[in-house]
Structure 1
């Protein structure tokens, strides 16, 4: 099985926390992530996200449970802007992005642009 880049695993952990109705432990998160990552790997990611201020943690018995502290949509939008800023061909990147949207996603984007 191929390893995911840490940035991708961080994003998957953040997405799982964003979708959760309650704080999650590392074990809970492992069950929500594809590929069955090691418990120590999930703990490492959670520690890094906590150090970055992106999650809070509190004791729940002998373990910690984690909750997202940032708005996921703002976080993803910031990453998209950062990547676009560093692209040598931002027009091409946006064109490729649009080509990969589903019809529903394309409609959402059109509606958002019409609101501006």
Structure 2
């Protein structure tokens, strides 16, 4: 029996496949890299199209097919998501204070180093 997969989970799996590859991939190669998920290429094409409209992937014509690649690396993408969440926060000071209070000592040290380098 096939498990129903949420849209967010599938988008994450597709972008993870693109990051793991490090090179442009066709929808068929992305589908093949997601072995065990029993996905149709058309489903992956829909996800890739959605990610392209969000500005997460770039589509390039390659002969009769298209290839797709991530616009940004994993770290840059994650930092952008964090920025978007912070921009939507009502009280940024409170959110940042709560965030710093919830992370490990190692993360606090990494944040301190990043702020010192800035």
Please say whether Structure 1 and Structure 2 have the same fold, judged by a TM-score greater than 0.5.
yes
1:10 corresponds in structure 2 to 11
2:51 corresponds in structure 1 to 49
Are 2:19 and 1:24 aligned?
A: no
**Cα RMSD over matched residues?**
3.5
Query: Counterparts of 2:95 and 2:35 in 1: how far apart (Å)?
Result: 31
* SS of residue paired to 1:57: strand
* SS of residue paired to 2:67: strand
State the Cα deviation string for residues 71-99 of structure 1 (Å, max 9, x = none).
55443323222222323565346634763
- Which TM-score applies when normalising by structure 2? 0.61
Max radius of gyration: which structure? Answer: 2
Offset of residue 30 of structure 1: 3.0
Q: Which runs of 5+ in 2 are unaligned?
A: none
The ranges of structure 1 where at least 4 consecutive aligned residues each deviate by more than 6 angstroms after the TM superposition are: none
State the Cα deviation string for residues 53-88 of structure 1 (Å, max 9, x = none).
53123335x643212234554433232222223235
Query: Counterparts of 2:28 and 2:62 in 1: how far apart (Å)?
Result: 14
- Which TM-score applies when normalising by structure 1? 0.62
Are 2:37 and 1:36 aligned?
A: yes
